[in-house]
């Protein structure tokens, strides 16, 4: 059983892959909260980025997963939040390395870039990869600005 909690969020462009990830988390017994959006109606991605990042900041979730058309808007919005390290990616090497080296706590994916199968495999890899710590600790501390 996973020891982490996940907060999910998306806009209309990321709805399909967010739902696929949600299903996979459910099947794996991972604890999650789905903060929307829930329909294909057009919505503003920053709203959902902020909800998910607040859940990570207040400890309700260990990790956030944000899906929009490209993942880019979500990552820009997420990285405005103190303590949030959001990575937008579409390949497994980056999914692993952003956990190992950046201690990323929010994964951003693009529903118009990758399909649901890849989204699920990237999410599982991201969630299961630990931070390496060591020399990377100092660099993580250097990321924060007032
Ligand atoms: C919505 O059309 C689109 O702009 C959004 O999903 C995202 O790709 C923004 O980065």
* Torsion-angle region of 106 (φ positive above 0: left; ψ -120 to 50: alpha; else: beta): beta
Ligand 1: residues within 6 Å at CB? 11, 13, 45, 68-70, 72-73
State the Cα–Cα distance between residues 115 and 18, nearest whole angstrom.
11
Mean pLDDT of the chain: 98
Q: Where are the domains of the chain?
A: 5-143
Give the count of alpha carbons within 13 A of 13, CB side only.
21
**Residues with Cβ < 8 Å from 23, sequence gap 6 or more?**
none
State the Cα–Cα distance between residues 24 and 116, nearest whole angstrom.
10
User: Ligand 1: which atom is nearest the Cα of residue 72?
Assistant: 10
Instruction: Tell me what percent of the residues of the chain surpass a pLDDT of 70.
Output: 99
- Size of the chain, expressed as the number of residues it contains: 146
CATH number for the segment(s) 5-143: 3.40.1400.10
Q: What does the pLDDT look like over 54-80, one tens digit per residue?
A: 999 999 999 999 999 999 999 999 999
């Amino acid at each position: 059983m996973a020891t982490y909690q996940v907060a999910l969020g998306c806009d209309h462009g990321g709805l399909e892959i967010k739902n696929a990830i949600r299903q996979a988390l459910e099947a794996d017994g991972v604890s999650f909260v789905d903060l929307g959006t829930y329909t294909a109606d057009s919505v503003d991605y920053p709203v959902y980025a902020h909800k998910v990042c607040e859940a990570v900041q207040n400890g309700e979730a260990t990790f956030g997963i944000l899906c929009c058309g490209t993942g880019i808007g979500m990552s820009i919005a997420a990285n405005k939040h103190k303590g949030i390290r959001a990575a937008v990616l579409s390949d497994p090497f980056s999914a692993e390395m952003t956990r190992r080296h950046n201690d990323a706590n929010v994964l951003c994916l693009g529903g118009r870039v990758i399909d649901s199968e890849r989204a699920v495999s990237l999410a599982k890899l991201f969630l299961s990869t630990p931070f390496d710590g060591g020399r990377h600790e100092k660099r993580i501390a250097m990321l924060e600005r007032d």
